[in-house]
Structure 1
């Protein structure tokens, strides 16, 4: 009996502690244990009391598991109302089943949403990786295009320099050929003068010498007449020698310029062939062959480009090339009487770019003066003291 009293006191103490601590969700369970104890003790009134109290708190706190146990015990304690308690228990079970179903649906929905979120994250991750690869591919493609474009530009520059070098070599060969022609002409002239001296003057002088030797010591009239004829013949030979001497003097003092001859040939082969009247004016006191080979080669090409542009575009009747030299600069002017053009509207073609490139390489300046109906004038100013830029050009200069 003492043990049962201890059980009751323990249950009551536990109920009191939970009430003091505010553990309302556990109060239905404590009331259920007390009701079960009192039911075992056949104390139906107190059992009903705790069952009602536990049921009230269970409904307030929605402690459905505890409420289910309380209803089962009420069906045993209060048999008069057991049908009602059974109905409530059935409704409670249905409610629990519905709540469980809702909870499963909720968990299923959460699981579905979680799977959907994971799938979406995976899709976004794959998409992000795809964009990373696409971006990397675009960057690499851009870099490859930049390398290709840069390489093409470098190749174009190399081809341009190679073409200019080939053109320079062509001009050098042309000047060398022209120089050989001039030397050949000089040798032919020397050979002609030598033949005239040997065959003409020396022969006549030998003849006169023989005549005079035969007339030595003779004073007759015939001898005097022959001697007078010989003297006149000597005067004729003297005039012939003086003429040859003048020819040699003129040849010695005349300035032959290989570069000027090349420009004359260029005018004849371009403007002359195209039916243009052409004229070359140059400083005859200047030592044009003393100009550096680099300047002569590039100046030749510049004049050639200007003449070609005149033939193609100017519709001119006459073209004039002027070359002037001072101690520090060379000035070239190429003028035509063609149709001219608007400088602002004129588009710079490859020819003008080549001219600009060559003038820039020589450290010079150039300008175009033109207007519709008044022809075109191109003026190039080049410093004479500019050093050569490449060993190959130095070799050309030495050879020229």
Structure 2
């Protein structure tokens, strides 16, 4: 299953976040408003209930005082005098249980034919007679029907201990109050002597806000309740709920729209960064990474990506350099955690060590080859000098003692003399004895003399060697310097067409310097193909860790060689 694109993800999450945030705020606001409304309504009902309770108690107190202060033979037709037996009969007929003291106000509503509120007032006149008055509850009913501040559904009513209404229901004014039973939570709490507020069904089964409190006055035991329908009270809440739902829907649509454009704005640089990463993963580091427009944090990401690209590109370039054996290339790791950079440096160190070891082995092999070559030359020179030389000399003496014609003898002697000279020259070329006996300085003197005799080349030689100090240079260095001079003179004789050569050997404490200059036709260094002579010179200088400089033009050739003296 394909994953959703980043734009869709961002749109979904931003929309969900907006909806959740608005929903939470709406629920919080709704709950707060509901709590405040509940508290305000219940407080209002409590105030109304208290006012009516006070009014009812004041009215009861006033009629009681009028009753107690009124003469027995007063004008009230509902007042009369009875004896104790008649009082008992009245109580049995009305179903009243008169309490002691008998004086007080009694509720006759349960025994009223109409079911309307009716009161009975009794006070003793003496031990045998009682004043009795039957009093209607119309005034109390008017107090309860006053509905100021109670809305359209508010009402206040009285309930007796038998859970029947004592006052008219404003919803059913044509029916007798006593016909309604109100065994509600508020009535139960009030009959238990408690007062309070709550939300519960009333005697109609309708949910109401209710404030309840008991009324106890001179044998009366009622409950007064002030209530309002939940539906009316919460009508603003329902309207608020509809408005909040509409706001949530509007915010959802707005969030989807805004999140879509924001997702586009944020996803463009991210997609561009993904494209750059794909290019880099494919090995293309010749890309241009620019932060572009957008938040500072995204710009910092593009800057970091550019740094990463530059770092990888630098590492690749460095690896290419060391792959081409450019081991002196500079490279600096980004830090201690740059494992790639440190690995490349270790690789370069290993290659340097391997290259150095290879160079050392090559130099040792070349040096061994040169030493073997010189030993072979020395052996051949010795065999020519000690073997063929004496034989030629003996042959010459034999010819002198033979009985041959004088011209023939002279011819043979000349031929043998030439052979002896050639053998000596070959012996000298292979290994001059002077080189072994007196060192390179003196051996080159003899070499230059031979060159002057055998050619028209004028060699000016300056010898500054310490040949009297044989411990200063080893035999290999003497032989190496002599062979280099031999090659230089040989190249001049073969190719330079020179007339003059300036040659000097100078021994210092740490090196021997060779300077050679001829006035020949020279050559171009970038065009000349190195022959055996120049190649041999370069190899000899390299084997002895020396320095070689060759400068050539139409005025001649100049060569400088420096061979370090070994520190024994």
Judge same fold: TM > 0.5, yes or no: no
More strand by share: 2
Q: TM-score, normalised by structure 2?
A: 0.31
Higher helix share: 1
Higher Cα Rg, which structure: 2
